[in-house]
Amino acid sequence: MNRLLPTKPGRPNLRKIAIVCAAISQLAACATRPTDAVLQPSSAAGGERQIALLTATNRTKDAGGQGFASGRSPSMAFEEYTISVPPTHEPSKIEWSKGKPNAKRDLVVTKRTAIDRQKFVTLAGTPDPDGSVGLFVHGYNYSYQEGLFRLAQIAADAKTGATPVLFSWPSEAALTGYVADRDAVLFSRDDLVTVITEMSRQPKVKKLVVFGHSMGCFLIMEALRQIKLQGHDDVLNKLVVILAAPDIDADVFRKQLAVIGPLKTPLTLFVAKDDKALRVSSFLGGERQRAGRLDVDDPIVEEAAARYRIKVIDITSVKADDRLGHDRYANLAAIGPQLVSLDKREGATSAETGAFVFDAAASVVSSPFRLARRVVTGQ
């Protein structure tokens, strides 16, 4: 059974090895990845609207100096972007430019500015009318530009007033970089703690939505653990934490929760039993269960969710754009109505915890950031 309790790792059999090899081959079959050329501002006209984004990164500059690589910098760099959204944009999609940017069909950078720490903090602390700001932490095998444009897609779908922030840690952006990425996460803890702390303490900020995917969830949990150990409960009390497909050893996740304790707004965990990328991660980790593949039908998982005061939500039914079922978080718009109904049931509140399953039959335009406000306010 899948559980949050310690489990004895099993011996991999030939069938499991075949499944893992097939998943790895699907990962390797991904489309050509964008270079840092997509970061260069273009004057292409024809976009439907412009969105503003902020980035904080501890990556080093790449060889050409136009973007950021996988090197680990001792200091953070901050940038401000404006990205044009095409009139043909579809929710959950990233419309990459192929060749010369075309704002009528592509997401296009129209402005890019390096900024100092103080300006970053000021801009990042300017919230939506409801007092919320958003922070996105990408996962394993992500380049800087992939994280930026994923956040652009989220922001485009959300249509929020705040300027969302990307924290880009130095992932190798390579299939062979799994172990290096785990080390990069640990290298990045202090920097993420700084960003979370400074954003949450801005005078107008009432809620900081911290949204992570895959290995980025491990980084978030390590940062929250550190904030707790530092005694900064004022920071934790402002957080709305959403973890999608968390690539975290289930036993490690349990220990992290034990240190962090219940958050004022219960942590929300989106899981899927058929996530093939996490199956590979489990295999590489000696058949240890990953938190993102927990089975909500297991009474032990339900009991553990109630004990640690978290929401574990199975989104297996949500459509995945990738063949591995690992990127469902880009389609979280589909579960918006059900999430609202979950908190609107008789006697239910936004603080309700436990294990739940969503039927993703309905569809609305939303995003993880807008979804988070629904968790808190039911709006």
Q: Is residue 9 part of a domain?
A: no
pLDDT at 319: 67
Most confident of 12-16, 276-280, 288-292: 288-292
Q: What is the mean pLDDT of residues 349-368?
A: 55
- CA contacts within 13 A on the Cβ side of 8: 2
Q: Which residues contact 265 (CB under 8 A, 6 or more apart)?
A: 207, 239, 240, 241, 350, 351, 375, 376
Q: What is the CB neighbour count within 10 angstroms for residue 41?
A: 15
Q: Is the confidence at residue 175, as pLDDT, over 90?
A: no
Q: Is residue 173 part of a domain?
A: yes
Band of pLDDT at residue 272, cut at 50, 70 and 90: confident
Q: Is the confidence at residue 202, as pLDDT, over 50?
A: yes
Q: Is residue 2 part of a domain?
A: no
How many domains, the chain? 1
Q: Is residue 8 part of a domain?
A: no
Residues spanned by the domain of 187: 14-377
Q: Is residue 354 part of a domain?
A: yes
Q: Which residues contact 320 (CB under 8 A, 6 or more apart)?
A: 272, 326, 327, 328, 331
Tens of pLDDT, residues 58-69: 999 998 889 999
pLDDT at 267: 93
| Torsion over CA: 277, 166, 63, 85 (sign) | positive
Q: Is residue 96 part of a domain?
A: yes
**CB of 379 within 8 A of CB of 343?**
no
**CB of 137 within 8 A of CB of 213?**
yes
Q: What does the alpha-carbon distance between residue 89 and residue 119 come to, in Å, rounded to a whole number?
A: 30
DSSP annotation of 335 reads G
Read off the pTM.
0.84
Q: Is residue 6 part of a domain?
A: no
Q: What is the mean pLDDT of residues 161-168?
A: 91
Question: Which of 62 and 273 is assigned the larger pLDDT?
Answer: 62
Band of pLDDT at residue 91, cut at 50, 70 and 90: confident
Band of pLDDT at residue 287, cut at 50, 70 and 90: low
Q: What does the alpha-carbon distance between residue 263 and residue 113 come to, in Å, rounded to a whole number?
A: 36
Q: 15, exposed or middle or buried, with CB in 10 Å at 0-12, 13-18, 19+?
A: exposed
Q: What does the alpha-carbon distance between residue 219 and residue 238 come to, in Å, rounded to a whole number?
A: 18
DSSP annotation of 254 reads H
Q: What is the mean pLDDT of residues 209-234?
A: 96
Q: Is residue 237 part of a domain?
A: yes
The domain that contains 335 carries what CATH number? 3.40.50
Q: What is the mean pLDDT of residues 147-175?
A: 89
- Name residue 91's amino acid: P
**CB of 326 within 8 A of CB of 320?**
yes
pLDDT at 340: 42
Q: Is the confidence at residue 166, as pLDDT, over 50?
A: yes
